[in-house]
Amino acid sequence: MDLETLMYGYKKEVPVILTSSKYSDKVKSMVLNSGLPISFRILKCSTEKEVIDCINKEKEISIVIMNQNLNYLNLIKEIQEVYKNDKIQFIVILEKIDENTKNYCFDNTIFITEEMLNGKIFYNFFKVSLSNFLSRVLNDVNIRKIKRMKNTINKERYYLSYLMNSIREGIIILDSLGRIISLNKIAEYMLDLEDIEYINTPIDKYIELTNERTKEKEKPVSKCIETKKAIRSNLSILETKGERSYIVSYELTPVLDSATDEIMEIIFIFEDITLYKRLWDDVSRKKNLETLGLIAEGFVHDLNNQLTTMLANIHLLKETTSDESILEYIIDIENACMKSKSIVTDFIAFSKGGIPLKRKGNIKELIEEVVHLMFRGTNIRIDISAETQLGYVEFDHSLMAQVIKNVLLNAKEAVSHNGTIIVKIGNQNIPENNPYNVKGGKYVKISIEDDGIGIPQPMLDKIFDPNFSTKGKDRGLGLSIVKSIVENHNGFIKVSSRENVGTIFTIYLPVCEEKKELKEKVKKEVKKHSKLLIIIKDSIIIRTLERVFKFLQLTADFITKNRLTHEDLEKFIASKAVYDYLIIDTSGIDERNIRRLIEHLKQINPALKVIIMTHNHRFDTERANKFMANAILYKPFGLEEISDVLASVID
């Protein structure tokens, strides 16, 4: 029977006699540190008499390790003949094995030389002697029990191993000093230990734990050993020496000896919750944006009213003023108002997820415009190339300019003063089954590539987070708003990077529904003397709209309270007034009575065009359909925007 099986059945301490010699300390150390799952007790003797006395005193001597300083041949014969003890095994260490020694042959004796003490030779002979001793000590009945015991233990080990490797958590079994005894496949993979000999190595050599919230280093193994209590964490960062990083929850549980209350083992269980954390962060971020959007509602409403008044009046001044010196000031004021409008639009875009005001156009022209403004006077080389038959895209000019600007800004900051940025614009077909969660079809692909320092791999997953920056300075909302705007244009953005090689941002935007030719929209002339009805509450805008419609030679009536009562509605119906256009400001309207009014006006004039006026960029087509709306006029607006909307609803 093999030695491992025999050791299962021998639960007592194994006494070993060691005679004194120049190498006895070395032999003692080798026996005690043999790594075998059995305990040894060393009995040191100096003479033949001490060896005999020791054998008489001890009930079971397993092995006698002696040297040539004793009369070892006579001693072996005496022990075997006088004491009739064939269970004792002898290992005799000699300077050399001569012919006289070779003539003696004992079943239970091994002769070795001093040179054999080095390496594994001594261990192999020692195991042979131990196996012979245990085979003689244990009877056949015990051996059969041991076999059954070993088979049972092997089955339990197999089931335990199968169970450990079947669950998704990482499991590490540590000894009382925090050294690895065993671990399952998940832990082996996560800790990057698949090709490393890790048994009996401290776990702290391979991992580092940091509290995700406080960023403080954690030492849960040391704390568990010190307190003998379970240690838990719901949110920590686990980093391996192989530079892998995970967000984990973990628990360390000490297994205590019931008799001594000392730690026998520590069970370390941890779970990778990186994906769950990211999903939760996305949900929390969206909730925060929704809250910000609600707070912004009142602020944006009032500000847009003021901007609408300013823009409309400035446009009227431009149309009616011929004095060049005055016109110069008017244009400066108009540019300031347009900049304010852009800021408000950007704020709405972020607070409400980047809802765009889209118009069909050529994205190449916008990119060239942004590049020209950003890179004038720099030594950075910009190469722009585009396909000749480039598809048209429906996009918000202000928001998409910000997307291109922010991506180019990252490239500009990454390259040296004489670096190169390559912009490529082309058509790309995306299949229906794609990993980007977008509708399949034709897209315009915009790639912006730089030859800069690149982005480290661990940062790429966080590159679009609102609070994340690779630099110590504040650069606004940056790439988080870029991703938000692109996705709200029904597109997507990707990034790839290699350190010291460069970075490529790739933006995909869907091409407009196929048409044979997309031309720039030509303003249609609104029929002169058309009659409008405007339902609006804000008096400051009413005065401005009166001037605008007078300039456009349109007749306008105003209802200055949004919450129409039943009596108000009946009076209006009784008037039998006819209108060509109905413009409704949606701020605080009474939807039910407004819909009744629209139905009445359409009965009188089926060609009535309904236009919704709102600052709410979430006012979607489905809601507009409830008002039978033909178009939406977003605040802030000026003369040009009013003219465009009125022209757009003419058949």
Range with the lowest mean pLDDT among 34-43, 48-57, 255-264, 556-565?
Answer: 556-565
Q: Is 359-510 CATH 3.40.50.410? A: no
pLDDT at 72 over 60: yes
The pLDDT value given to residue 527: 60
| Distance linking the first and last C-alpha atoms of the chain | 99
Q: How confident is the model at residue 342 (pLDDT cuts 50, 70, 90)?
A: low
Q: Give me the mean pLDDT over the 607-620 stretch.
A: 78
Q: Which long-range contacts does 490-499 make (Cβ < 8 Å, 24+ apart)? A: 490/438, 490/439, 491/438, 491/443, 492/436, 492/437, 492/438, 493/464, 495/455, 495/460, 495/463, 496/460, 497/454, 497/455, 497/457, 497/460, 498/454, 499/453, 499/454, 499/455, 499/456, 499/457
CATH number of 167-272: 3.30.450.20
Q: What percent of the chain has pLDDT over 70?
A: 82
Task: Report cis status (omega within 30 of 0) of the bond before 636.
Answer: yes
pLDDT at 269 over 70: yes
pLDDT at 347 over 50: yes
- How far apart CA 484 and CA 365 sit, in angstroms, is 22
DSSP 269: E
What's the pLDDT tens digit per position in 392-448?
A: 898 888 788 889 998 998 888 888 777 899 999 999 999 988 888 888 899 999 999
* Mean of pLDDT over the chain: 80
Range with the lowest mean pLDDT among 43-52, 119-128, 130-139?
Answer: 130-139
What's the pLDDT tens digit per position in 213-229?
A: 888 999 999 999 999 99
pLDDT at 523 over 50: no
Strand pairing class (231-240; 217-218): unpaired
Within 8 A by CB and 6+ apart from 93, the residues are 21, 23, 27, 65, 66, 67, 68, 112, 113, 114, 117
Range with the lowest mean pLDDT among 8-22, 262-276, 465-479?
Answer: 465-479
Higher pLDDT pick, 625 / 54:
54
What's the pLDDT tens digit per position in 152-170?
A: 767 777 777 777 777 888 8
pTM above 0.75, yes or no: no
C-alpha distances (whole Å) from 103 to each of 61, 66, 98, 542, 618 are 26, 19, 9, 126, 104
Q: Is 3-142 CATH 3.40.50.2300? A: yes
Sheet architecture: strand order including 231-240: 180-183, 170-175, 263-272, 245-256, 231-240, 207-211, 217-218
In degrees rounded to 5, what are phi and psi of residue 376?
Answer: -65, 130
Q: How confident is the model at residue 266 (pLDDT cuts 50, 70, 90)?
A: very high
The pLDDT value given to residue 434: 84
pLDDT at 473 over 50: no
Q: Which long-range contacts does 455-461 make (Cβ < 8 Å, 24+ apart)? A: 455/495, 455/497, 455/499, 455/503, 456/499, 457/497, 457/499, 458/243, 458/245, 460/495, 460/496, 460/497, 461/278
Q: How confident is the model at residue 558 (pLDDT cuts 50, 70, 90)?
A: confident
Which of left, alpha, beta for 341 (phi over 0: left; psi -120 to 50: alpha)?
Answer: alpha
Range with the lowest mean pLDDT among 55-59, 252-256, 422-426?
Answer: 55-59
Q: Give me the mean pLDDT over the 586-595 stretch.
A: 74
Higher pLDDT pick, 230 / 355:
230
Q: Give me the mean pLDDT over the 453-468 stretch.
A: 78
Higher pLDDT pick, 145 / 592:
592
Q: How confident is the model at residue 520 (pLDDT cuts 50, 70, 90)?
A: very low
What's the pLDDT tens digit per position in 163-193?
A: 777 788 889 999 999 999 888 888 888 888 8
Within 8 A by CB and 6+ apart from 219, the residues are 204, 209
Report the candidate in 426, 645, 458 with the shortest Cα–Cα distance to residue 545.
645
CB neighbour burial string for 470-501, b if at least 16 within 10 angstroms, e if fewer: beeeeeebbbbbbbbbbebbebbbebebeeee
* Domain range list for the chain: 3-142, 167-272, 359-510, 531-648
Q: How confident is the model at residue 303 (pLDDT cuts 50, 70, 90)?
A: confident
- How far apart CA 249 and CA 324 sit, in angstroms, is 70
The pLDDT value given to residue 650: 67
Residue 586: CB atoms within 10 A of its CB come to 20
Within 13 Å, how many C-alpha atoms sit on residue 271's CB side? 13
Domain 531-648 has what CATH class? alpha beta
Please provide the size of the chain in residues: 651
- For the chain, state the CA radius of gyration: 43
Q: Give me the mean pLDDT over the 578-602 stretch.
A: 82
Answer yes or no: same fold for 3-142 and 531-648: yes
The pLDDT value given to residue 521: 37
Higher pLDDT pick, 349 / 645:
645
DSSP 116: G
What stretches of 106-214 show up as alpha helix (H) in DSSP? 121-137, 140-166, 185-190
In degrees rounded to 5, what are phi and psi of residue 51?
Answer: -65, -45
